[in-house]
Amino acid sequence: MSAIPLTDTSKLCVHTITTKPWSVEEAMDKYAEAGVGGITVWRQWLEGRKISEVGDQLRACDLEIVSLCRGGFFPAATSQGLEDAIEDNRLAIREAAELGAPMIVLVCGAVPGQALDESRKQIADGIAAALPLAEDYNIRLAIEPLHPMYADDRSAINTMASANEVCDRLDHPLVGIAADVYHIWWDPDLAEQIRITGEKNRLFAYHVCDWMTPTTDLLNDRGLMGEGCIPLEEIRAMVEKAGFTGFNEVEVFSDRWWARDQDEFLTEIKKAYLNHT
């Protein structure tokens, strides 16, 4: 099964971290000029700025603010650590509201040496504690399952099934899933899990990039779509079949691409989006 080819960039969203050398101001001008439809803003890009003003500038550029990245990192070894994590997520919710972002992506966290089941419980409890504030501002919380190579310290949620379990536990319309191909492309249950996620109205976001062979860095060696081995068109077909109509968000952490001219990179992003996504 393959998806219908993408013919324009109206559903293309770029994460500010993808063009890491650019400030949020540079990124918004360049994205808008290139016809990019949406932007996901990473919190570091808001540092030292009046967040509501950045939101106004983004809207003036006609960029749809897709999400704020990121909240999460709920698990901790101490009760103070757990409380601090919840506070930081509440702060992220306020920042999203100020920016005008309808959603926060959650990288859920893990503590090396702590049982993953315990971390999953802390993640569910942490999201539950942040939910009342998310309700006040109507901000959606999207759990992003991370590839199992990050299970030690970045996330105890490593599959769509595991993310769906947390969603089932919380059973709340503001809690759903951000499906990122980098983390889930290998999963033999992917098609079924995406189907279930859509059926339960919790497929909130779709992130794309590619998997390089060999991968030289576990974090900062993602490929641009078409450079690696992820069956992107097949996965987009699954996501669309599940009812997803949102943005295809390009999220590439790559030392290799960050070292290049970012204007050229953005041109390559558009090409890769239209031809390999």
For Zn ion, the binding residues (CB under 5 A) are 180, 207, 251
b/e per residue, 172-182, with b = 16+ CB within 10 A?
bebbbbbbbbb
**Residue among 43 and 82 whose Cβ is closer to Zn ion:** 43
Which helix (H) or strand (E) is 274 found in, with range?
helix 262-276
Both tokens of residue 141?
């919380």
Query: What whole-number distance in Å separates Cα of residue 79 and Cα of residue 75?
Result: 10
**Residue among 29 and 210 whose Cβ is closer to Zn ion:** 210
Smallest distance from Zn ion to CB 60, Å: 27
Query: What whole-number distance in Å separates Cα of residue 69 and Cα of residue 46?
Result: 11
Q: Do 266 and 19 contact (CB within 8 A), yes or no?
A: yes
**Residue among 49 and 110 whose Cβ is closer to Zn ion:** 110
DSSP secondary structure code for residue 148 in this structure: G
Smallest distance from Zn ion to CB 144, Å: 5
Smallest distance from Zn ion to CB 104, Å: 12
Both tokens of residue 248?
């295809």
**Residue among 31 and 204 whose Cβ is closer to Zn ion:** 204
**Residue among 178 and 266 whose Cβ is closer to Zn ion:** 178
DSSP secondary structure code for residue 205 in this structure: E
Smallest distance from Zn ion to CB 69, Å: 8
Query: What whole-number distance in Å separates Cα of residue 273 and Cα of residue 277?
Result: 5
Q: Which of helix, strand or coil describes residue 223?
A: strand
Smallest distance from Zn ion to CB 115, Å: 25
